[in-house]
Structure 1
Amino acid sequence: MKQISRREFLAAGMTGAALLCFPGPSAGFDLWGTKTRRASGPSDITGSVFKNSAPETPWKWSVEAFDYVKHADRSVTCAICPHECRLLPGDRGLCRSRVNIDGVLYSLVYGNPCSINVDPVEKKPLFHFLPRTTAFSIAGAGCNFRCLNCQNWEISQATPETLRHYELFPDGVVQSAGQAGAASIAYTYSEAVTFFEYMYDTARLARQQGIKSLLISNGYISKNPLSALCDVIDGANINLKSFDDALYRKLNGGRLAPVLDTLETLHRRGVHLEVTHLVVPGYTDEESLFRRMCAWIVEALGPDHPLHLLRFFPQYRLNRLAPTPVEVLTRFRNLAMAAGIRYVYVGNVPDHEGVHTRCPNCNRVLIFRHGYNVTQPGIKNGRCAACGTAIPGVWV
C-alpha cells in the first residue's frame, strides 16, 4: 500500500497524480458550503504563527477554512480555535496546518490523513458508547497545543507536508468505515480541531449512512465551529488536562476556560460525553486541584458523564518523570466518586478494579473489561439487569 508525502507530490509537480490507498475520489472533494465571515477580528497573538512558511498556491489537499476574518492588509484571523492566530500572507498558524495564501485562509489537512486504524471504541477511551464495537480512526497532522507529555508528538507537532499520508476524502472515509464494519468514525490521535473541515464533512456524510462520529479532542475550539460540529457528531471524549489556567499554559500551551466552555456546550447539546484526565506527577497530581475539578464537573455537567483517570508514562519532553503511582490513581478515583461522579475509570493500569462498569445503585458489575476484551452481562435495554437503574450511554 503505497503512500506519498505532500513534499514528494509538490516536487513531482502540481499536475502529478498521487497514488490512492483507499477508495475515494481522486480530485479535491469539498462538501463545504458558504464560508462564514466576520467584520473584524481580535489582535495578534505573539509567537502564534510561523512566518513565511505557507505554500505559494493551494493544492488538492487544501480547502478554504470554515471561519476566519479578512483584513484590509490581506492578513486573516483564524476563528477555529481560541488562539485566533493573525496571519499575514505566507504565514502558518500555531497548529501548523492552516495558512494564509494571498489573503485566503486554507486548511492543508483535507483528505490526507497521516494515520488510519480500526480500533476498539474503548481505546478512545469511550466506555459508555456502543461497547465491543470498532471505530474507524483517522488523524491529520498538527495540533493547536504544545503538550510537554504528548504521546503522538511525531504527528501532532509536525507540518502536513513532512509526513507521509493517505489520500482519503470524506466519502472514501465513510465507504472504508462501512467496509471495515466499524460502527463509528473517530477523529483522533493528533488534534481533531486542527482538521475541522475534513472532520465536519466526513461526519455529515457518515450520519447519512448511519455511521456514528466521535470527537476525541483537547476541546480547544471556538463557539461557532463547535456549534456546527454538534449537529453532526454523536460522541466525544474531551481531555481536561488540568484545572488551573497557569498550568494549562505551562504544560499544554492553552487556556482552561475555553475547554470548560466546550464541555458545557457538548453537555447542553446532548452529545454523549466522556472526560479524560491524565494524572502527571508534579503537574496534575495535586489533590486540592483535583477536588476542585471534580466539584466543577458535578455542578456544571452532572454526575453521569464518565471520567477516565489515566496513568502517565514518560513521554516526549517529560521523559525524565516516573510513571504515576497506581495508589495515586486509586486515591483520585475514590475522591471523584466521593464528590458524586458515578462512573470513574482508571486507564493504563491493566486489571485495576477501576476498569469495570458498576451499577451506582446495587454495585453489580455491568461491564467487565480485561484490556480490550469486553463482556456486557449486566446491562439490558440501557438499564442494570439486576435492579433496573438507568445507565447513561449509547448502548444499541
Structure 2
Amino acid sequence: MAFESESTVATKYWHQLEDGRIQCDVCPRHCKLREGQRGLCFVRACEDNQIVLTSYGRSSGFCVDPIEKKPLNHFYPGTPVLSFGTAGCNLACKFCQNWDMSKSREMDTLADQASPEQLVIAAKNLGCRSIAYTYNDPVIFMEYALDVAAACRESDIFSVAVTAGYICKEPRVEFYQGMDAANVDLKGFTERFYKKICGGQLGAVLDTLKYLKNETNVWFEITNLLIPDENDSEAEIHQMSEWIMENLGPFIPVHFTAFHPDWKMLDKPRTPSQTLTRARNIAISKGLHYVYTGNVFDVKGESTYCHQCGAMLIERNWYVLGYWGLDDQGCCASCGTPLAGFFEPHPGIWGARRLPVRMVS
C-alpha cells in the first residue's frame, strides 16, 4: 500500500472497534482513532483504516554519547554509543527534560534522515559499540528501531533502548527481542504520581521490568528521577527498593538522578545531592548491590564497588572513568567476585565527549 510519505509505514499492533474506530495496541494508552487522527504520541496515526508510523527513518538528530549517559554503568563502560530519537512520546510527564522533541507536534523537528543501514555504517565508522534509541521513547517508533536493531545484529553492533517501559504485552515481546540492553525509567512508585504527573500507569511499567528479568536476556538498569516533594519521600524509596529486591534481585543497577526545573515543572527546585545520597543508602540497606547517584558531582555515588569485599571496581567522575579494578574476566581484582553486566578486558576511553553527527545520504 502506498502512503503519501516515505516516512510513513504500516504497523501491525492495532484492531478495529465496533464503532469503526481503530485502536492502537502498542501501549496501555490504547488510543482509539478515526481516519486522519493521531495518537497522543503524535507519530502513530490512523490512515487508510489502519495504524501507521509517520516518522520512519527520520530523526530529531544524531549524536555520539558515552554509554554512561544513557545511563548504563554495567554495559561496556567507557564506550561510545550513537544516539538518536524522533518526535513524540506516549507519556505526558510534566517534568520532561527532552520536551522539545518528545512533545513536538511539528514534523519539521525531524530534520535528519537515515536508513537502518546508514546508521550501522555510521556507528562502525565512528567506533561506536552500540546504537541507542533515546531522547524520546523508542516504543512509539518501534518499527524503525527494530529495523535498525536487525541491521546492528548483522554487524556486531549492540542495540540499547532508553525507555519508560510503557508498552503492551504482545509488542513488548517483539521489541525486546531486538534489544541487547535497556535503561528503564521508573518514574515513581505510586499510581498517583504516574497518573497526576506522567499520565500513565505504574503497574504497566512494573510488568515490563518483571518481563525483562524473567523472560529475556536483555541487560537492563533502572533510573529514578527524584523530584522534591513529589516522589522523593523515604517511604516511597523504601517501597521501591523492596519491590526491586523482591522481584528483580540485588544485581540490577539502580540510578537515582537529580531533577532540574523544566517544561511544566518550573516551580520545583533542583534535587539536593543529599536527597540522592539518602535514596542510595536506603536502596543499599535493602540489599541492592549497585546503586548510583546521577546529574550531580559525586564520585563515591557514581562509582562501582564489589558487593563482596567492598573494593572499588570502576571509578567515575561524571562520565569519565578513572580507576579500573576488574580483571580480564570482569571480576573483582581483589577477591575474584564477578561483577554483573558486560565488560571487556579494558575500559573504553570515550570519556565525556558529546559529538553531534550529521548523516549524509
Is the structural similarity TM-score above 0.5?
Answer: yes
Identity %: 38
Deviation at 1:61, TM superposition (A): 0.5
1:375 Cα deviation from its structure 2 partner: 3.1
Structure 2 CA distance for aligned equivalents of residues 167 and 133 of structure 1 = 24
- Give the total of aligned pairs: 342
How far residue 352 of structure 1 moved from its aligned partner, in angstroms, is 3.9
2-structure distance, mates of 1:95, 1:180? 31
Return the letter of the residue paired with 1:302.
Answer: G
Task: Kindly state the Cα deviation for residue 164 of structure 1 after the two structures are TM-superposed.
Answer: 4.1
Shift of 1:322: 0.9
Give the Cα separation in 1 of the matches to 2:223 and 2:124. Answer: 28
Matching of residue 161 in structure 1 with residue 136 in structure 2: no
Partner amino acid for 2:25? A
Q: Which structure has the bigger radius of gyration?
A: 1
Shift of 1:119: 0.5
User: What SS does the corresponding residue of 1:93 show, helix, strand or coil?
Assistant: coil
Which residue in the other structure is 1:243 paired with? 189
Out of 329, 332, 346, the position equivalent to 1:384 is: 332
CA separation in 2, counterparts of 1:58 and 1:79? 23
Offset, 1:293 = 0.6
Q: Deviations over 1:301-345 (max 9, x none)?
A: 001010000011111111111111111111111000001111000
Aligned 8 A contact 1:97 1:160 in 2: no
State the AA in 2 paired with 1:177: A
Which of residues 1, 14, 18 is equivalent to 1:68?
14
CA contact (8 A) 2:299 2:317 kept: no
Unaligned segments of structure 1, at least 5 residues: 1-27, 29-55
Match of 1:274 among 208, 218, 221: 221
1:215-235 deviation digits (Å, cap 9, x = unpaired): 100110111111112222110
Equivalent residue in structure 1 for 2:277, among 320, 330, 350: 330
- CA 251–72 in structure 1, closer or farther in 2 if over 3 Å, else same: closer
**1:132–1:244: structure 2 CA closer, same or farther, 3 Å change rule?**
same
RMSD of the alignment, in Å?
1.5
Secondary structure class of the residue paired with 1:213: strand
- 1:255-286 per-position Cα deviation (integer Å, ceiling 9, x unaligned): 00110011111112121010000010010111
CA distance in 2: counterparts of 1:351 and 1:286, whole angstroms: 21
Structure 1: distance between partners of 2:335 and 2:221: 24
Tell whether the 8 Å contact from 1:346 to 1:352 is kept in structure 2 after alignment: no
- Report if aligned partners of 2:245, 2:288 keep a CA contact under 8 Å in 1: yes
Q: Give the Cα separation in 2 of the matches to 1:79 and 1:306.
A: 30
Q: Which runs of 4+ in 1 moved over 4 A?
A: none
2:27 to 81, 97, 121: 81
Kept after mapping to 2: 8 A contact 1:248/1:256? yes
- Kindly report which structure 2 residues correspond to 1:276-295, keeping only aligned pairs within 5 A, or say none: 276-295=223-242
> Is 1:343 matched up with 2:290?
yes
Equivalence for 2:349:
none
Report if the CA contact (8 A) 1:140-1:160 is conserved: no
- Secondary structure of the structure 2 residue equivalent to 1:118: strand
Distance 1:364 1:119 in 2: 28
C-alpha separation in 2, matches of 1:143 and 1:156: 5
- Residue correspondence of structure 1 range 363-378 to structure 2 within 5 A: 363-375=310-322, 377-378=324-325
Aligned to 2:142: 196
Cα shift readout 1:138-189 (whole Å, capped 9, x = no counterpart): 1010000111110000010012514142111111111111111100000001
Q: Distance in 1 between matches of 2:341 and 2:50?
A: 41
Which stretches in structure 2 are left out of the alignment for 5+ residues?
A: 345-361
Partner SS, residue 299 of structure 1: helix
TM-score by length of 1: 0.84
**Cα distance between partner residues in 2 of 1:101 and 1:142:** 18
Aligned to 1:213: 159
Give the letter aligned to residue 371 of structure 1.
Answer: W
Render the CA deviation track for 1:11-64: whole Å, top value 9, x for unaligned.
Answer: xxxxxxxxxxxxxxxxx9xxxxxxxxxxxxxxxxxxxxxxxxxxx954100111
Other structure's SS at 2:256 match: strand
1:92 partner amino acid: R
- The partner residue of 1:120 within 60, 66, 69 is 66
Give the aligned partner of residue 254 of structure 1: 200
Do the aligned partners of 1:155 and 1:190 also contact (CA within 8 Å) in 2? yes
With normalisation by structure 2, the TM-score equals 0.92
Code of the aligned partner of 1:234:
D
